[in-house]
Structure 1
Amino acid sequence: MPTSLPNFTKLPVYLSRIDGGLQRRIETLKRGLGAKACILVLLSDGEARIEGRGGETVLSGPSIAWRKTAGDFRLVIEAGTSGYVAEIAEETLARAIGDFFESAAIQLLFDRDWFRHFDENRDAHADVQRHLESIRRELAQPQPASGMMVVAHLRIVLVTILRASGAEEVARVTHGNSAHFLQRFRQLLEAGFRAHHPVGHYAHELGITHDRLHAICMRELDKTPKSLIAERLAREAALGLERSTLSIKQLSYSLGFRDPAHFSNFFRRMTGMTPGRFRKLMATASPDSDGFSPPSFADWP
C-alpha cells in the first residue's frame, strides 16, 4: 500500500482573515488571479464597504458579499471589524461547483453580484465562516492533496449559501418557458456530460422533441445542443489538463472516452491544438494571458 498521498496541483485561490484592528484600513480586492477571478467577503461583525465602478456597497456583519469579477474594487474596513476576504480563480470555482445535478443552480446564483445579511440565519453564516477558516489553514500549511481539500471546503461554502438563499432566489433569475428548458438542459448536462449522451437523450428527459430543443438553443444562445454538449466536455478537459496531475490517458478515461486517441482528436477539433500542447501552453501562461480559454456557461440564462 502507498505510504503517502500523491501531490495535487495547488489551485489558485487567496484567502485572508480580517482581524478587528484599532484603525480603519483599505485592501485592494484584486491579487493577480486574472480578470475572471471572483471575490467573496464575509463579515462576522463590524462594518466595511466595497468601493469601485462608480459605486459602493455598505456591509455590516453578519453578512456575505459576492463579486463575480475581481475588477478594481477596494475594501474599506472599519476599526474593530472581523471576517474573511477570498479571491477565487475561475477554474477553482468551476472545480468547486462540479458537475452535479444541482451545479447549475449554484452557477446561476454565483454568476452575478449580490450582498445579503444573515441576521436570521446565523447558523449558515457560522458554517460558511468555519469552512473559510479551514481553507485559510490549508493554504497557510499545504499538505498532500491540499487542492482537493480546498475545493471540498469551498463546495460546502457554495452549497450552504445556496441553501440559505432559498429556492425562490434561484428561480428569480430565470424566466420564461425557454429559460426553464435551458435551465433543465443545463442541469442534466452537468450531471451527465461524461456519459456522452446524444441530444435525443436530453430531449427525452426534458419531455420535448429533438427539434424543439434545437430550436430553443439556437434562438436563445445561437448554438446547437450538440455544440453545447461538446463545449461542456471540452471545458472539463481543458481544466483537467491545466490543473490535474492525471496523464492524458487517465484524463481521457475519466471523461468517458474509451480511446485516448479519440479524446485527442476531439480536443484538437474543439481547441485547434493537441492535449499535450495545450497542457504545455497552460503551464507557462500567466493568469491574464490572452491564450485559449475554453467555453463556459457564462452566457446561459
Structure 2
Amino acid sequence: MKQPPNYGLYGEISSNPIIDGLHIESIADRSQLYDWEIKPHRHDDLLQILHINKGHGSFSIGTLHSDISAPCLLITPRLAPHGFSFEKGIEGHVITIHHQWLLNFFSQERNVLNIYENSQTIKVNKKSEAWLTINQTIEQLKKEFFGSKPWRHQTVNALLVSLVVMIAREANNENQITNNQSKSISYINQFKELLDTHYRDHFNIDFYANQIGVTQTQLNRVCRNVLGKSALTVINQRLMLEAERDLLYTALSIKEIAYSLGFQDAAYFTRFFKKQSKQSPNEFRNSKRQ
C-alpha cells in the first residue's frame, strides 16, 4: 500500500520545520499556493489544530471524511493521513504543535493526550464565550509568536497551554470525538515514546512489543502499514538520528559518541553507522562541515 507523503509542514520535506514546538499561519497562507487543495499527507511528529472561523470545505483525517462548516475546530493527530479542500475566502488558522511539546506539558494528563491523539471535529457556537475566548487567545498567540518582546518564549508557551486546554474542554464537554484513533497509530505512538527513552539500551523488537502488549509480528506489521518500514528500521533510524546529532553538533570523539549511545566499542559503532548511511562516522562529520 502506497504511503501518503510525510512532510514537516505541507510541501516541505524539512525534518525541523517549526521552532518553539509551534508554527501558526492562516489557512489561506499555504492552501492558496496549492489552489486551495491540500492533498493527503501525514506528519511523523506534528499534530495540527485547524481553527475555522468562516467558510466551508471538506476534509479527510484517517478514515474520517466530512464537510467543513464554520465555526469549528479540527484535530489531526501525528501519523494520521489527512487532506483538505477549502473554498476560496475561508478564514481561520492552522496551528502546528510538535508532539514532544505536548508531552512536555501534559505527560501526566492522559485525558488531554487522548483528545490530541484522535482525529476529530469539534463544532462550536460562534456566539459562545468559549469560542470568543479561543479566538482571542489565537490572536494573542500569533502576536507573541511573531513578536520579539522580552519573555516571548514563556508567553508563547503559556498561551499555547491555555489554548490546548480550552480546546480539550470543548471536545470533552461536547463528547464530540468522531473517530477514535486506530490501534495501529496508538501502537506507533507508544513505540516511538519507548524508543525515545530506551534507544541507548539496544533492546530488541520483542522488548518493545512486550511493553506495548503486542507480538513482534504485530509490531512489524503495524510499522509497515503506518510508517512503510520495519520495526527494526525504526529502531535503527532513532539511533542514527542521535548519532548524527552528536557528530554534527558536538566535539565528542567517535569513541565517546559510541559509548554514549550504548555501543561496546567504536569499531562496532562505525560498522553500524556505515551500514545505515554508506559513510563512516568521520566521513559523515567531515562532509557536513565542509
Q: 2:198 maps to what in 1?
A: 195
2:181 maps to which of 166, 169, 173: 173
Query: Conserved in 1, the CA contact under 8 Å of 2:191 and 2:208?
Result: yes
Cα distance change of structure 1 residues 188 and 249 upon mapping to structure 2, 3 Å threshold:
farther
Q: Deviations over 1:144-183 (max 9, x none)?
A: 78578656755664565456435994882325xxx4xx73
2:139 to 130, 133, 137: 133
TM-score w.r.t. the length of structure 2 is 0.50
* Alpha-carbon distance, 1:58 to partner: 3.8
| Unaligned stretches of 5+ residues in structure 2 | 1-16
In the aligned structure 2, how far is the partner of 1:267 from the partner of 1:107? 35
Shift, 1:57, TM fit: 3.3
Query: More relative contact order in 1 or in 2 (CA 8 Å, sep 6+)?
Result: 1
Question: Which SS does the other structure have where 2:55 is aligned?
Answer: strand
- For residue 51 of structure 2, the aligned residue among 22, 34, 42 is 42
C-alpha distance after superposition, 1:237-257 (max 9, x if no partner): 77x79xxxx93369x99xx73
1:131–1:153 Cα contact (<8 Å) kept: yes
Provide the residue aligned with 1:248 in structure 2.
250
Q: Do structure 1's residue 221 and structure 2's residue 220 form an aligned pair? A: no
- Map 1:12-161 to 2 at 5 A: 13-16=23-26, 29=31, 40-43=49-52, 47-50=54-57, 57-61=67-71, 63-65=72-74, 73-77=85-89, 84-86=92-94, 88=96, 93-98=98-103, 100=107, 105=114, 108-109=117-118, 114-119=120-125, 125=131, 128-142=134-148, 150=156, 153-154=159-160, 157-158=163-164, 161=167
Q: What SS class does the counterpart of residue 231 from structure 1 fall into?
A: helix
Tell me, what secondary structure is at the counterpart of 1:142?
coil
**Cα deviation 1:112-164 (Å, max 9, x = unaligned):** 5x5320349x6765664454234301233135785786567556645654564
Distance in structure 1 (CA, Å) of the matches to 2:116 and 2:278: 27
Return the offset for 1:59: 2.0
TM-score with structure 1 setting the length: 0.49
Quote the RMSD (CA, aligned, Å): 5.6
- The code of the aligned residue for 2:51 comes to L
Cα distance, 1:58–1:153 mapped onto 2, change above 3 Å:
same
Q: Is the 8 A contact 1:96 1:151 kept in 2?
A: no
Confirm or deny: 8 A CA contact 1:29 1:71 kept in the other structure: no
Quick check: 1:51–1:76 contact (8 Å CA) kept in 2? Answer: no
C-alpha separation in 1, matches of 2:235 and 2:209: 13
- The answer to whether the 8 Å contact 1:36/1:70 transfers is yes
**From 171, 186, 197, the counterpart of 1:183:** 186
Is residue 243–residue 261 contact of structure 2 (8 Å, CA) maintained in 1? no
Measured after TM superposition, the shift of residue 14 of structure 1 is 3.9
| Aligned partners of 1:29 and 1:70 also within 8 Å | no
For 2:234 and 2:215, the matched residues in 1 are separated by: 12
> Percent same amino acid among aligned pairs?
13
Sort the Cα spacing of 1:133 and 1:66 in 2 relative to 1 into closer, same or farther, 3 A.
Answer: same
Q: What is the CA-CA distance between 1:204 and the residue it aligns to?
A: 4.4
Matches of 1:267 and 1:125 in 2, distance apart?
51
